[in-house]
Amino acid sequence: MSSINYSEKIPNNVNLSEDRTLQRALEQWQPNYLQWWDDMGPEGSQNFDVYLRTAVSVDPQGWAQFGHVKMPDYRWGIFLNPGDKDRKIHFGDHLGEPAWQEVPGEHRANLRRIIVTQGDTEPASVEQQRHLGLTCPSQYDLRNLFQVNVEEGRHLWAMVYLLHKYFGRDGREEGEALLERRSGNVDNPRILQAFNEKTPDWLSFFMFTYFTDRDGKFQLCALAESSFDPLARTTKFMLTEEAHHMFVGESGVGRVIQRTCQVMNELKTDDPARLRAAGVIDLPTIQRYLNFHFSVTIDLFGADQSSNAAIFYSSGLKGRYEEGKRSDDHILKGQSYKVLDVQGGMLVEKDVPMLNALNEVLRDDYIKDSVGGVERWNKVIEKAGIPFRLKVPHKAFHRQIGTLAGVKVSPEGHHVTDHEWNAKVEEWLPTDTDRAFVASLMGRVVEPGKFANWIAPPALGINRQPVDFEYIRFA
């Protein structure tokens, strides 16, 4: 079992004590990180004892230890999946060559950019979720929020480790910059737009962890294929934590839906006004939130045609989702892929070189994966006997990046005029009134076992604890 050494100042499984240069760099960064957590981490929570999971080993069967800890004392550190010294590159122009243990000079700039872009999302989401604890629907949910937050903090550590260890002085500068950018800040924003949006309420939080943390999963999966072995090993371990984040989102939205359906049946109505008066979130509003988060998230995969995507793949920096399980030649030269285009007011498919379309390939894999949970949400509605179904919108809906940027497309995938768009947009995307209504439901419920009116309790507690367990001991 590959366990993590917690006796050192910076917990790790990379023999940090034998690498003085790295140790010094990280020890300099650590107080700045803690300062950032203090400034931008979960508001007003530094003294709470939170029932958190801490990773203690990194093998696939690795177990996690649960216990009450104060978040600033969480054991952040450097944890890599065990390596395979004979690992070979399995895609791109270097196929069959040994994986890289150091950064090749010609790929240095691109690798640094990939690592910084991934790293930037981690503290960004903590910043976006900073105020949510003040309006939690239960202790159980509050604990889940904090678990996600500390793990995103650890993901930042993972990327900073790579920057410090392999990129020398500019890596250290990037490590500092990751603590200086701020989500939504006009002067120094986070790199990707979805990470500058607000996460103002818990429905947004659950949608974010379902959809946007799943983008994280797909990016990490693509990086876990990388020829740069330390990046592959680091991201593999991050993926084990990401699964819980998506669980928080999927089960959270599911419980909101369950509660709404219950009240719909009690009142025998689907009238949003009556349901809102009863203090639950009507299904059309949930659909609009879904439309928003889905469309903003699929933009994160980048332009549908991208020469950078081709370079990242051919040079072996970033693979496809489940690269190793695919049966093609893993070089992709001369192959094509279908992307969307707008011609004469119609959405049409066109063939483009696959290497240039790899962002779209990853986006399509993501879309397939994200539909699964929406179907499970529909099961909840179906079980309640209600004839309403949630749907992910067409991938051309509400896009800001690539060929489809700014093209007006309905959730069903019809190209519409500006006039039609303006007439319908309030049915398609959350309105100010929707957001104000959802915000009005956000109170603070912290008594063990109690839940806000707008959300059903979970079926099970965390780590087989009862649902009314004291997940947080308030100071």
**Closest CB to Fe ion among residues 245, 398:** 245
Whose CA is closest to 348, among 392, 299, 403? Answer: 403
The DSSP output letter for 82 is P
User: What's the rounded Cα separation, in Å, for the pair 44 and 333?
Assistant: 54
Q: How many residues in the shown chain lie near Fe ion by CB under 5 A?
A: 7
Closest CA to 12 of 65, 58, 60: 58
CB 442 within 8 A of CB 20: no
User: Which listed range, 147-155, 289-297, 356-364, 431-439, lies at the site for Fe ion (CB under 5 A)?
Assistant: 147-155
Side-chain half-sphere CA neighbours of 420 within 13 A = 9
Rounded Cα–Cα distance for residues 147 and 149 (Å): 5
Span from 14-22, 122-130, 169-177, 293-301 in contact with Fe ion (CB under 5 A): 122-130
The number of CA neighbours under 13 Å toward the Cβ of 47 is: 3
CB 115 within 8 A of CB 162: yes
The CB-of-216 to Fe ion minimum distance in angstroms stands at 5
State the minimum distance, in angstroms, from the CB of residue 457 to Fe ion. 24
Q: How far is the CB of 125 from Fe ion (least distance, A)?
A: 7
- The three-state DSSP-derived secondary structure of 124-190 is HHHHHCCCHHHHCCCHHHHHHHHHHHHHHHHHHHHHHHHHHHHCHHHHHHHHHHHHHCCCCCCCCCC
Please state the closest distance from residue 209 (CB atom) to Fe ion, in A: 7
Binding mask 69-108 for Fe ion (x = CB under 5 A): ----------------------------------------
Minimum CB distance to Fe ion smaller for 242 or for 250 = 242
CB of 75 to Fe ion, least distance (A): 17
Shortest Å distance, C-beta 404 to Fe ion: 26
Q: What are 348's strand-pairing partners?
A: 341
Nearest to Fe ion of 99, 231 (CB atom): 231
Question: Per-residue x/- marks for Fe ion, 31-70, CB under 5 A?
Answer: ----------------------------------------
Nearer to Fe ion by C-beta: 133 or 216? 216
- C-beta of 213 vs 304, nearer to Fe ion: 213
State the minimum distance, in angstroms, from the CB of residue 373 to Fe ion: 15
Amino acid present at 147: Q
**What is the token pair recorded at 312?**
């990242």
Q: Which is nearer to Fe ion, 245 or 363 (CB)?
A: 245
- Phi then psi dihedrals of residue 228, to 5 deg: -80, 100
Q: In the 8-state DSSP scheme, what is residue 83?
A: P
- Give 155 or 408: the residue with its C-beta nearer to Fe ion: 155
Q: State the nearest-atom distance from the C-beta of 26 to Fe ion, in Å.
A: 19
- Cβ atoms < 10 Å from Cβ of 293: 26
Segment contacting Fe ion (CB under 5 A): 151-159, 274-282, 391-399, 438-446?
151-159
Q: Which is nearer to Fe ion, 213 or 225 (CB)?
A: 213
In the complex with Fe ion, the residue whose CB is nearer, 174 or 213, is 213
Q: Which of residues 209-268 bind Fe ion (CB under 5 A)?
A: 213, 216, 242, 245
Q: Are strands 346-353 and 64-70 parallel, antiparallel or unpaired?
A: unpaired
User: What phi and psi, each to the nearest 5 degrees, are found at residue 435?
Assistant: -65, -40
Beta-sheet strand order (sheet of 472-473): 64-70, 49-55, 472-473
The helix-helix angle for 213-223 and 108-128 (nearest 10°) equals 160
- Candidates 119-127, 137-145, 167-175, 311-319 — which segment interacts with Fe ion by CB under 5 A? 119-127
Count of CA atoms in the C-beta half-sphere (13 A) of 60: 1
Q: How far is the CB of 349 from Fe ion (least distance, A)?
A: 32
DSSP state of 256: H
Measured from the CB atom, the residue of 192 and 283 that comes closer to Fe ion is 192
| Cα dihedral 410→414→420→425 (10° resolution) | 0
- E strands along 317-386, which residues? 336-343, 346-353
Q: Site for Fe ion (CB under 5 A): which residue of 107, 112, 155, 164? A: 155
Q: How far is the CB of 86 from Fe ion (least distance, A)?
A: 29
Q: Which is nearer to Fe ion, 246 or 280 (CB)?
A: 246
Q: How far is the CB of 149 from Fe ion (least distance, A)?
A: 10
Give residues in contact with Fe ion (CB under 5 A).
122, 152, 155, 213, 216, 242, 245
